[in-house]
Amino acid sequence: MTGAAVHAKAQTESIARWLTSSSPHPAVAREAWHAARPAMLRTGVPYDAVRMPLALVHAAAESSAPDVVAGVLAEVLDGPVICHPRHWYYALVPPGTCETWRSAEAVVRGRGGWLGIPRPDSTEPTPATPYWAVPVEQAGKLCSAAAVAKLLRVGRNRLEGVAS
């Protein structure tokens, strides 16, 4: 294995440990990932999750094409985003965001919530199963809650025909 491959494997393992750190049984999450299923993990400890309506995200990106949306989300949010096809996007944000969130466009899952988290390397768009629209680059790197709220306002304004 090359040095780069070893580094990539260590990085993926670090990300997996971080994603599952809210679970008293991280092996259960890894089993789900091994079976190509999302792991049901608690929010509120390593991250909260803003549940963003598909329509608002697509309006903000001015596209529903997965690669275009992913590019816009990566640029604007600069943090990990999960796509649950046909329903929602989830931006991972700092823990505690749930207590301070004031945007009417979306809700935050914080302490006590659950979220289906795809395997760290599940980045290919699928029609039905969750995947990373914007993958986790490093453990602990999250989206800014303010950037998420702004993205949702832009989407709402575009849907309503209001200049942003």
Tens digits of residue pLDDT in 11-65: 889 999 999 998 889 999 999 999 999 999 999 989 999 999 999 999 999 999 9
- Residue 91 near residue 77 (C-beta atoms within 8 A): yes
Residue given tokens 């750190």 in the structure block: 21
Tens digits of residue pLDDT in 134-164: 999 999 999 999 999 999 999 999 999 876 5
Tens digits of residue pLDDT in 108-124: 999 999 999 999 999 99
SS3 label, residue 35: coil
SS3 label, residue 36: coil
- Identify the residue with better confidence: 6 or 42: 42
DSSP string across 104-161: TT-EEE-TT-EEEE--TT--S--SSS-EEEE---STT----HHHHHHHHHHHHHHHHT
